[in-house]
Structures are given as C-alpha cells and as structure tokens.
Amino acid sequence: MIPYVPPAHKKTGFNCPHCGAFANQRWSEAFYRFEVGTLNIISGLNYAACSHCQKFTLWLNEKLIIPSTGGAPMPNNDLPEEIKADYEEARAILNRSPRGAAALLRLCIQKLCKHLGEEGKNINTDIGNLVKKGLPPRIQQSLDIVRVIGNNAVHPGQINLNDDMETAAKLFLLVNIVADVMITQPNEIDKLFNSLPPNQLEGIAARDKQK
C-alpha cells in the first residue's frame, strides 16, 4: 500500500485531495485589489496549486476549507461499490462534520467485515475472526483506539460527541488498510500466481499433493 501524506498548511508536498496523487504544491498568498496598481494580502488566506492536476486547495487560518473533503485519502479501488459510496460521502462531509464522517466510516468497517464473510452483527467478533484469517493484530489494536471495537466502541453509524478530525482521519486510513490487506493483496498474489507458466503451476500442484 502506497503511503498517504495528508494535506497540511504550507507543506511542499502531499497527496492532493482533488486527484489523489502525491505531488509538489506551489503556495501563494491571497490578494485583493483595493485600487488600481495596489494589491493587498488577505490575512490568513492561502492557496496551493497541485503540480499534478493544477487544481487549488484553499486554506483559511491554516485550515483546509476547499475542497470540503478535508484531504481524506481516496477509497481503495477494491472496496465494494456500496462501501465506497459511504466512504465518499464521509469524504464529502469531513470538513463540515468530522463526527458524521466518523460514524459513516465505522459503518464502512462493519459492512466490510460482512463482505469478507463475517456475520456483521458483532464487530468485535468479526474483527477477531479476521485476525485469525490474516488481519494483523496491530490493526485490531488501532480499531480499539478509534472506538470501532473494545469496551468504548461506538455503534456503527452512530454519532459520537468525542469524535474529531483526527479520529476521522485515522478511520479513513484504517478502512483502506483493512481493504488492502484482506482484498487487494490477496488479489495481487492470485494474479501473480495465475500468471505463471502452466507447467510450473502443474509442478506446484503435484508437489502440494505430496504433502
């Protein structure tokens, strides 16, 4: 999984919230013209141009205000469409409602567990079963920290007043990490294996039968 660098004020490179690419950012102050020949700086307002897509991010008092996605990472391409739709909705409301975004992302994780063969009724049990299937225990611990599982878990889809932008940002990453480990990586391994010459595949099958 390619590392994600979230947008940050005056940072020279980050993943663009418009195109998703990690790219150089060209920063400028915002000006207004009060009279002919005079430019005045607008205090606290900056913008950065992405060198990849040429689109702008607008910042007020060091906070990203445009686009409204708040710099959340793009969804993993292998997420099922229904889950991807919830993820994109969470991205769209992140700046306006981090709590709402976090609620949607917990729902994404519950739906993802069900997509991966779990019952989708008890998320603690589901995540525990996914660990047995190969999900790293560190991810399980991280899900506990952001109140997806554990004693302080918040019901998926429910607003929690303690959620903030930082919690939502972690949840975006965790949804993508779970999808990467449990869907993308196995798919890539299958593609690699199936690309082997037929005689090698037959040899591997014959060897495995002897075990």
Handedness of CA 110, 113, 115, 117 (dihedral sign): negative
Query: Cα separation of 44 and 62, whole Å?
Result: 7
Per residue of the chain (211 residues), give pLDDT as tens: 567 788 888 999 998 988 888 999 999 988 877 666 677 788 889 999 999 999 999 999 988 888 877 678 889 999 999 999 999 999 988 888 889 999 999 999 999 999 999 988 888 899 999 999 999 999 999 888 888 877 777 888 788 888 888 888 889 999 999 999 999 999 998 888 888 787 776 777 677 776 6
